[in-house]
Amino acid sequence: MDDSTVAKLEGANLEDLGIPTGRLAMWWFLASEISIFGGLVCIFVLLRWRHPEWASEAVHTINAAGALNTVVLLTSSLSAVLAHQAAEDGRYRKAARLLGATFGGGVIFLCVKAYEYSHEIHAGFVPARSMFWSFYYLMTGLHALHVIGGMVAMFVIMLSVRKGLNPQRVEYVGIYWHFVDIVWIFLFPLLYLAS
């Protein structure tokens, strides 16, 4: 068999799917994540709709903190995009610095969240208080775990991309971070604003 046959046959594969394996894996991972958060959001919306009285509990969430966190997450997503661009251009130290900024955004987000939790718990709004608070802690807690997981991954990638290793992973962790961001954009109006 000559080389042109092999080249032609390899071409047949690329026409099926030209997505890098890592990105494909991330998309499938997020598909399963969507079914977790999607399921929760659907349940919450249905129940919330049936129970208008939850509004009296929802007013006690700290809207300003939620809004601040929304801004923080959106900004950190921006630096993740810039990090991806820098990695594409081969500017790995800059990519690492920008990932560091995103990481910092995660830290701020978690600090604000911790402040909220402690404030709310001191005021007696504990998970077992009512269904609204159960859902509030479940959904924001699950989201915060995703933030922490993303930060761990980002830290590892930051260290390796500085040395120019696996720069494509900057994009993958960025996709993940956008997802975490989008989940928050659903949670913020549902849990904070709708009261």
Partner 1 sequence: MAHSAHHPPVGFLGRYVFSTDHKVIAKQYLFTGIFMALVGGFLAYVIRMQLTFPGESIPGYGHVSFVHYNAVVTLHGTIMIFWVAMPVLLAALANFLIPLMIGAEDMAFPRLNMLSYWIFLLSTVVLLSSFFVPGGAAAGGWTSYPPLSGSAAFSGGQWGVSLWILAVALEFAAFLMGGINFITTAFNMRAPGMKLFDMPIMVWLQVVAAIVFMLSVGPLIAGAVMLLLDRLVGTGFFDPAAGGDPLLFQHLFWFFGHPEVYVVLLPGFGVIGEILPVFSRKPIFGYRMIIYATFVTGVMSFIVWAHHQFIAGIDPRLATPFSITTILISVPIAIMVFSYMATLWRGSIEFKTPMLFALGALAVFLLGGVTGIHNGTPAADIFLHDTYFVVAHFHYALIPPVFFAFFAAMYYWFPKMFGRMLNERLGVAHFVFTFFFMNLTFLPMFLLGFMGHQRRIADPRVFDTLRNAQVENLHWLATIGAIGLLLGQIPFLVNLVMSLIRGERAEANPWRANTLEWTVPSPPGHGNFERQPVVYRGPYEYSSPESSEDFLPQNAAP
Summarize as ranges the residues that interact with partner 1 (CB under 8 A). Answer: 1, 5-6, 9-10, 12-13, 16-17, 19-21, 24-25, 28-29, 31-40, 43, 51, 127-128, 130-131, 134, 137-138, 142
Closest approach, Cβ 102 to partner 1, in A, equals 23
d(CA 182, CA 132): 21
Closest approach, Cβ 53 to partner 1, in A, equals 10
Tokens coding 19: 């997505």
For residue 3, give the amino acid letter. Answer: D
Tokens coding 3: 């080389």
d(CA 27, CA 37): 15
DSSP letter assigned to residue 14:
H
> What is the number of alpha carbons within 13 Å of residue 6 lying toward its C-beta?
3
Closest approach, Cβ 14 to partner 1, in A, equals 10
Closest approach, Cβ 175 to partner 1, in A, equals 14
Compare residues 57 and 102 and give the one whose CB is closer to partner 1: 57
Compare residues 72 and 120 and give the one whose CB is closer to partner 1: 120
Compare residues 98 and 125 and give the one whose CB is closer to partner 1: 125
Compare residues 59 and 128 and give the one whose CB is closer to partner 1: 128
Closest approach, Cβ 116 to partner 1, in A, equals 18
Compare residues 33 and 68 and give the one whose CB is closer to partner 1: 33
Between helices 21-50 and 131-162, what is the axis angle to 10°? 160
Maximal C-alpha separation, the chain: 76
DSSP letter assigned to residue 129:
S
Which 3 state secondary structure label does DSSP give 162? helix
